[in-house]
Structures are given as structure tokens and as C-alpha cells.
Copies of this chain bind each other. A is one copy, B any other.
Amino acid sequence: MKCRSCRGPAVIEVRRHHAAFCTEHFLTMFRTQVEKAIRRQEMLVPDDRVLVAVSGGKDSLALWDVLLDLGYDATGLYLGLGIGEYSDRSHDLARAFADGRDVRLLTVDLERDHGYDIPTAGKRGSRSTCAVCGLSKRYVFNRAALEGGFDVVATGHNLDDEAATLLGNTLRWQTDAIARQSPVLPARDGMVKKVKPLHRLSELETAAYAFLRGIDYVVEECPLVAGNTQLRYKEAMNAIEQTSPGTKAQFFLGYLERGMPLFRSEDRAELRSCEECGQPTTGRFCAFCRARAQILGERLGVGPEPSDREVAEELSDEVLPVEIYDQAVR
């Protein structure tokens, strides 16, 4: 295999591009794809203060690295989920990355700052572990960005993530969720702009980028994620990609081009301030405060305490701000 650009020995083959690359030109291709995503989707302008959602995994560290490399003012935020050694190691690697590049890493710890950790949350309350984890991340990153004066939150979702999510949404024809699966969500009252600059790059490519850039990242999957539906959608996409390279890119990028315009989010519910924390919500209390109160066995506001059944019904019926539900930050 020879590099498409320089004909020197290649280190990686990208089948959907029918191309192979040496280290230098793979990194160039990677940066070009990120720049293309940023430009085409109007994700960032040069002066933006960017908050990168950092998990310590390959995607988020590759994202942080490439944004710094492209000259953006990018600060990391690590959210401690309290998932034992997995979280400790993730935090160490995020810190090591920040120290090595002399950039700032903010930290929020769910247990310290909000009174619960994810393993506990998954056992109590009416949400699955992955659901409450996603909700916590979206809430914490948005709030930290608002409070820190950041212009935009960037997350490391890659092409595989986006294609798997889109497959799941499409298999159920969840038209609202499909409508909102954009790599850019504009700012709205109390909701910071969210962007996914890696959405044109596959999981294999983000891993290769991190490896070739010498980034030390957490290789293991979250130990709580086993059997997760998203993983099965990824497997199904991988099986098709295996025999038809390019299917994932065709599916997600084709959606952005031809599918998304057909789907419109039905309603843009009015946002108000959560009576507990002040963050935007469509109801009296935001989903985060309601989930947290349920986990901690606390009561929100005054009035009669709702029964378990009422809480469960409320959770399944709730209309949540678009952005709160759409940005599954890792």
C-alpha cells in the first residue's frame, strides 16, 4: 500500500475513500475533514471560546488536539462520573493531555457537585444508566459553558456514533429526533451552541489519529455500557460497511444533504427557568433536577409529592428542550 498523496509507504487504509495514507498525509486528511465540517456547517469562528467535552477517550482527546492544532481557543471540561477505576484512569489521562499541552482542564464531579454518581443513579430513579449519564453530561456541559462564558461546546461524536444514532432513530421513525440530529445546534436562550466537528470521521480514523499523534487515551469501553442498544446498531452498520465500504458516510452525510430538510422538529416549546437551578426547561423543573431529586429521594418545590407512577409518566411524556436531549456528550 502506498500513500495516496506522496506514494511513500502507507500506514493506514481508508476503504471508503479507496485510499491509503502515510502518517503525515493521514493527519493532513484528518485535519482537512475537520476543517471542512467546521466550515460547511458554520461551527466555529476564529475568536470563539470553545469548551471541549473531554472523557479521556480517543474521540474527545483527538478533537481537543485537532482544535488546538487548528489554532482554536479550546478548554477541556472533564466530568467525573464516579465509575470506579474507569473514571479515575479517564481523569488521569485527560489531565496528562492538558498538562502536556499546557492547556486548561476544568473538572466537574457528579458526586462532589451534585450528590450522586452514575452507578448509583442507574440503580435508582426511572432512567437507564446510559440515559441518566447522557442527561447529566448534557446538563453539566451546557451549564459550565454558560457560567464560564464559552461560545460553544464541542463534542467528539464521530461518524460511527452519528450513523448508529441515526439508524436507531430511523428504525423507530422518531421523526422529531431525526429532525434534530444535526452536527450543529445553534444557541438559544440559556442553551449554548453545540457542535460535532468529527462527524465526518470514522471511529477507526479517530483511533488512528490519536495513536499516530501519540495521545494516551482510555482504550476500554465504559464498563456499564455492555449490551447497550447503540452498540448493536454500530455492529449492524459495521456488518454492512464491511461489504459496502462507505455506507456509514453515505447514510449520515446523505441524511444531512437530502434527509434532514424533509424532517422538521414539530414544536419549539417555550423555555423558562428551572425553579430549582435556573437552567432552561419547558416545565417547572428541568429534567436534570427531576432526575437528581428522584435519585437522591428528595422533593422538588412545594405541593403534594407525586407518586412513583406520576413521576414515571411525567418522564416518558416530557417535552424537553431540543438541545438538552440531543447532545449526548461522552
Contact = CB atoms under 8 A, between A and B. Distances in A.
Interface of A: 170-173, 175, 229, 232-233, 235-237, 239-240, 243-244, 247, 250-251, 254-255, 257-259, 262-263
Contacts of A263: 262
A89 to B, nearest CB: 29
A232 B243 contact: yes
A232 B236 contact: no
Given A232-B240, A239-B235, A259 B171 contact: no
A255 B235 CA distance: 23
A240 B240 CA distance: 13
Nearest to A259: B173
Contacts of A229: 244
Contact of A171 (B243, B247, B258): B247
Contact of A251 (B171, B235, B250, B259): B171
A173 B240 contact: no
Nearest to A257: B173
Contacts of A251: 170-173
Contacts of A237: 236
B250 A239 contact: no
A170 to B, nearest CB: 6
Contacts of A172: 250-251, 254
A173 B236 contact: no
Residue in A171, A243, A247 whose Cβ sees the most chain B Cβ within 10 Å = A171
Given A170-B170, A239-B239, A175 B232 contact: no
Contacts of A239: 232, 235-236, 239
A262 B175 contact: yes
What 9 pairs across the A-B complex have the smallest Cβ distances?
A: A173-B254, A173-B258, A236-B236, A173-B259, A171-B251, A262-B262, A236-B240, A236-B239, A175-B258
Contacts of A254: 172-173
A82 to B, nearest CB: 28
B171 A250 contact: yes
Contact of A175 (B175, B244, B247, B259): B259
Nearest to A239: B236
A324 to B, nearest CB: 23
A34 to B, nearest CB: 23
Nearest to A260: B173
Nearest to A235: B239
Given A172-B254, A173-B251, A175-B258, 16 more contacts: A171-B240, A171-B247, A172-B251, A173-B250, A173-B254, A173-B258, A175-B259, A175-B262, A232-B239, A232-B240, A232-B243, A232-B244, A233-B240, A235-B239, A236-B239, A262-B262
